[in-house]
Amino acid sequence: MSEPTVKKLSLTATTGEAAEITWEESAPGLEGKVGVEVIADCVKRLPNSPGVYRMFSSEGDVLYVGKAKSLKKRVSSYAKMGGHTNRIARMIRETANMEFVTTHTEMEALLLEANLIKRLRPKFNVLLRDDKSFPYIVISDDHASPGLFKHRGARSKKRSYFGPFASAGSVNRTLNAMQRAFLVRTCTDSMFESRTRPCLLHQIKRCSGPCTSEVSEEEYSKLVKEAKAFLLGKSSQMQASLSKQMQEASDELDFERAAIYRDRLSALSHVQSHQGINPRSVTEADVFAVRQHGGLTCIQVFFFRTGQNWGNRAYFPRADKAIEPGEVLGAFLGQFYDDRPCPRQILVSEDTGELGLLSDAFSLRSEYKVEVLKPQRGEKRELVDHVAKNAQEAVERKLAETSTQAKLMRGVAEAFGLEKTPNRIEVFDNSHIMGTNAVGGMIVSGPEGFAKNHYRKFNIKSKDLTPGDDYGMMREVMTRRFSRLVKEHGFPEDQDITEGEIGIWPDLLLIDGGLGQLNAVYDTMKELGLEDKVAMVGIAKGPDRDAGREKFFIKGQQSFMLPERDPVLYFVQRLRDEAHRFAIGSHRARRKKEMVKNPLDEIAGIGPGRKRALLHHFGSAKSVSRAALSDLKAVEGISEQMAQAIYDHFR
C-alpha cells in the first residue's frame, strides 16, 4: 500500500493567527471505492492522538467534519458494520475519501473543527444558519469629546465597547433612552467638527452640545463617565446620584436645573424597564436552551452583561431529527463562539457531554477563564428554565409559520398547475427612471418564507438597449442569471435537494409584467434550453392598477384571475411587492452613488491619494479636466505617464 499524500491548508488557528495545517489524505489506489472499505483502509495508518477528520464524497464535496480525542478509535467506529443511526450510515456509504490533521490537544481539535464547519458547511454536520455579528454600543474615547454609537465589526483598542446586544433594535432603544439620560453626542466626528451652532438634538434636550461649547469639557467628561457607569451596571448608583442632584437643585429653587435632572431620571427608568429580567447572581453570562419539536430544533440565547438583560435571539440550526438536543447544542456552541468573544460564564439547558472540554477550549481562545455549566438549582436554574420556555414557544411559532408557508406554497402549485409544490420561487422586477441607472431585482421565497441571503441585483450593463426597454432589460437579467446557474450547477435535474431546503434552481419564476415580459423571459430561457425546466408566470396589474384584480399569464394558456380574498392571491401580491421594493431600493442606491461619482474615479491608476492631490492642486474635477499637460505634471505624486493618461482621458 502506498504512503498517504500530504496537503497543506492555510486557515485561522486557535489564536486567531494564520497557520499552516498539514492534512494527510487517504492513500491512492482506492479510486472508485466508497464506504466502509475506504474508512477501514484509513484506520490502519491513523495515530491515537487527538485531531480533526474530514469525509469527502466521490464528487469532492465535504460530507462531515469531526474531531476526536483519538483519531484511530473515533474513525474505526465508522468501519464497524451496524449500530449506526440512519444519518451516520448514509454518511458512511457516501464517503469516498478522508483527510486528517493531528493537534496537540483535544481543545485545539474542538476549535479547529468549529472553524472548518463554519467555512465548509458540510452536509451531515449541525450548521449554524445565521452567523451575523452582534451589535455593540461604543464610546469613542479616542476623541476629545467622546460620542455614543452603534457598532458592528472590528474593534479599536482606544474605544470602549459594551455588548453584545441581541439585535439592532435593542441597541437603538438603549441609545435613544441614553441620549435623554446622559446627553452624550451621537453625531459623526465630521459633523461635530463642522458645527457652528447647536443642532436640533441640543434644542430638544438630547445632547449637551459639546460641538459649540454649550457645555464645559469637565462637565461633558462627567456625562460620559456617567454613561459608562450605567453601561457597566451601576444604574442604581446613577439613579441615587441624579435624584440627590435634583433635590439639591429644587432646594436651591433652581427649578430649571431640577427639571433637567427629573427628565434624565425618567429616561434612565425607561431604559431600565426595557432590560426585562435582571438576575442578581448573574453579571456576565450567555444562557442557552435547546428544544426540539416536530423535527425542528430551536436554540434560544439570552445575553446578560453587567447584571442587565441585553436581549435574546432564537436560532434554528440545520440538524438531523435523530441528533440528541445535547449533541446539537454542543456543536452549536463551538460554531457560535468561533469568531465572537466569550462571556466569563455560559449556562446551558443540556449536558453536551463535553462541558469541561468546551470550558477549556473557550478559556484557551479567550485568554481568561470561561465556565460552561448546566445549573442544577437556584436562580441560575430558574434562568435556564425561563430561556427554555422561550425556546419552546419559539419552535412552536416557527412550526406554525412554516405550516402556513407550506400551505401557501401548495396553493401556488394548485393555482398555476405545477406538477409539484415549489421549494424555491424567484420573482423578478426592473427599476429605472427613463432608462437611467437601470437595475433588475430578484427576490426568493422558500419553505421558510423570504430567503434574503439569496436575493440578487443586476445592474443593467448592455450598451445596445434603448433607454426604458423593459423587455431588453428582462432578457439581460434572465441571460445573466441562468447562464451562470447552468455553468456553476448544471441543469435542474442535477440538483440534490434535502427536504425543507430551498435548493439552488427555482421551481417557479414570477415575472412582474404582462404577456410581453413573459414572452421576453420565455424566449431567453428557450435560447438557454430551459423553457421546459422551470415554470414561468407573468403578473400584470389590474385595471387602474388595483390590487386584487391582477391578471396572470402562462405560456400557451388564456390569461386568468384568482378569486378576490384568495390567500394565494395575497401571497403572490406580497411576493411581487417585495420584488418591487427590492428593485426600487437597489435603483435608488445606484442613483445615489452616481450622483456623488467623481470623473477622476473613471481613470485607471487614480486612487484616493492621487485624487486628493489633484483636487487640492486644482480645486475641482472640472478644473482637472481643463488642465494643460504641463500643469498636470506639476502635481506632486503624478508622473509624466499618469499625467498623459489623465490628459488623454478628458480629451
Judged against a pLDDT cut of 80, whether residue 249 lies above it is answered with no
* Predicted local confidence at residue 167, as pLDDT: 78
Instruction: Please state, in angstroms and as integers, the Cα–Cα distance from residue 437 to each residue in 355, 479, 589, following that order.
Output: 55, 19, 9
The answer to whether the CB of 424 falls within 8 A of the CB of 505 is yes
Judged against a pLDDT cut of 90, whether residue 182 lies above it is answered with no
Q: Report the run of H or E that residue 609 belongs to, with start and end.
A: helix 608-618
Number of other CB atoms surrounding residue 488 within 10 Å:
8
* Predicted local confidence at residue 5, as pLDDT: 39
CATH class of the region 599-649: mainly alpha
Find the mean pLDDT for residues 343-372: 91
Instruction: Please state, in angstroms and as integers, the Cα–Cα distance from residue 308 to each residue in 176, 235, 272, 375, 377, following that order.
Output: 17, 10, 8, 19, 21
Find the mean pLDDT for residues 100-110: 89
* Predicted local confidence at residue 82, as pLDDT: 75
182-194 core/surface letters (b: 16 or more CB in 10 A; e: else): bbbbbbeeeebee
Percentage above 70 pLDDT, the chain: 86
308-317, 422-431, 540-549, 641-650: which range is least confident on average?
540-549
Find the mean pLDDT for residues 102-129: 88
Find the mean pLDDT for residues 209-216: 90
Find the mean pLDDT for residues 600-621: 76
Confidence of residue 15 (pLDDT cuts 50, 70, 90): very low
Following CA atoms 107, 111, 117, 119 in sequence, which dihedral angle do they give, to the nearest 10 degrees? Answer: -160
The answer to whether the CB of 425 falls within 8 A of the CB of 444 is yes
Cα 459-454-540 angle, rounded to 5 deg: 65
CA distance 182 to 221: 11
The answer to whether the CB of 258 falls within 8 A of the CB of 267 is no
Judged against a pLDDT cut of 50, whether residue 6 lies above it is answered with no
Confidence of residue 26 (pLDDT cuts 50, 70, 90): low
The answer to whether the CB of 309 falls within 8 A of the CB of 278 is yes
Q: Which candidate, 174, 161, 175, 173, places its Cα nearest to that of 133?
A: 161
* Predicted local confidence at residue 524, as pLDDT: 92
The answer to whether the CB of 192 falls within 8 A of the CB of 153 is no
Find the mean pLDDT for residues 596-618: 75
Return the higher-pLDDT residue of 550 and 595.
550
CA-based R_g, the chain, Å = 30
* Predicted local confidence at residue 236, as pLDDT: 62
* Predicted local confidence at residue 66, as pLDDT: 92
> Sign of the CA dihedral 454, 460, 462, 468?
positive
Instruction: Please state, in angstroms and as integers, the Cα–Cα distance from residue 574 to each residue in 425, 431, 444, 578, 629, following that order.
Output: 13, 18, 12, 6, 57
Locus of grid cell 435535474: 493
* Predicted local confidence at residue 606, as pLDDT: 79
Find the mean pLDDT for residues 245-253: 77
CA distance 207 to 216: 13
* Predicted local confidence at residue 349, as pLDDT: 94
Return the higher-pLDDT residue of 3 and 154.
154
Return the higher-pLDDT residue of 166 and 149.
149
Judged against a pLDDT cut of 70, whether residue 373 lies above it is answered with yes
Report pLDDT digits (tens) over 422-459: 989 999 988 877 667 788 899 999 888 888 889 999 98
Provide the terminal-to-terminal Cα distance of the chain, rounded to the nearest Å: 70
CA distance 619 to 614: 8
Q: Which residues pair with residue 12 across a beta bridge?
A: 18
Burial class (CB in 10 A: 0-12, 13-18, 19+), 164: buried
Burial class (CB in 10 A: 0-12, 13-18, 19+), 546: exposed
* Predicted local confidence at residue 3, as pLDDT: 39
Judged against a pLDDT cut of 80, whether residue 150 lies above it is answered with yes
Asked whether the domain spanning 425-492+501-590 has the same topology as the one spanning 285-397, the reply is: yes
Return the higher-pLDDT residue of 257 and 504.
504
Tell me what the pLDDT averaged over the chain comes to: 82
* Predicted local confidence at residue 633, as pLDDT: 84
Judged against a pLDDT cut of 80, whether residue 539 lies above it is answered with yes
* Predicted local confidence at residue 31, as pLDDT: 62
Confidence of residue 546 (pLDDT cuts 50, 70, 90): low
Confidence of residue 63 (pLDDT cuts 50, 70, 90): very high
Judged against a pLDDT cut of 90, whether residue 397 lies above it is answered with no
| Topology classification of domain 425-492+501-590 | Nucleotidyltransferase; domain 5 (3.30.420)
Report pLDDT digits (tens) over 460-519: 887 777 777 888 888 999 999 999 988 887 777 666 555 456 788 999 999 988 888 899
Q: Report pTM.
A: 0.69
Name the residue type at position 591. R
Locate 70 and state its grid cell.
Answer: 483519538
Number of other CB atoms surrounding residue 39 within 10 Å:
21
CA distance 613 to 623: 13
* Predicted local confidence at residue 554, as pLDDT: 92
Percentage above 90 pLDDT, the chain: 23
The answer to whether the CB of 86 falls within 8 A of the CB of 46 is no
Locate 563 and state its grid cell.
Answer: 378569486
CATH class of the region 6-120: alpha beta
Find the mean pLDDT for residues 129-143: 82
Task: For residue 348, give every residue at least 6 positions away whose Cβ sits within 8 Å of its Cβ, in sequence order, or none.
Answer: 287, 288, 289, 329, 333, 355, 372, 373, 374, 384
Confidence of residue 2 (pLDDT cuts 50, 70, 90): very low
Judged against a pLDDT cut of 50, whether residue 136 lies above it is answered with yes
Cα 320-325-331 angle, rounded to 5 deg: 75
Name the residue type at position 395. V
**What are the backbone dihedrals phi and psi of residue 446, each rounded to the nearest 5 degrees, phi first?**
-135, -160
Q: Domain spans of the chain?
A: 6-120, 136-273, 285-397, 425-492+501-590, 599-649
| Topology classification of domain 285-397 | Nucleotidyltransferase; domain 5 (3.30.420)
Determine if residue 32 is left, alpha or beta; phi over 0 gives left, psi from -120 to 50 gives alpha, anything else beta. left
**What are the backbone dihedrals phi and psi of residue 359, each rounded to the nearest 5 degrees, phi first?**
-60, -45
Return the higher-pLDDT residue of 390 and 229.
390
CA distance 612 to 600: 10
Pure H helices in 416-566: 470-489, 515-527
* Predicted local confidence at residue 548, as pLDDT: 62
Find the mean pLDDT for residues 600-608: 76
Report pLDDT digits (tens) over 275-311: 555 566 777 899 999 999 888 899 999 988 877 778 8
* Predicted local confidence at residue 384, as pLDDT: 92
- Lateral strand order in the sheet of 371-373: 308-315, 296-305, 285-293, 345-348, 371-373
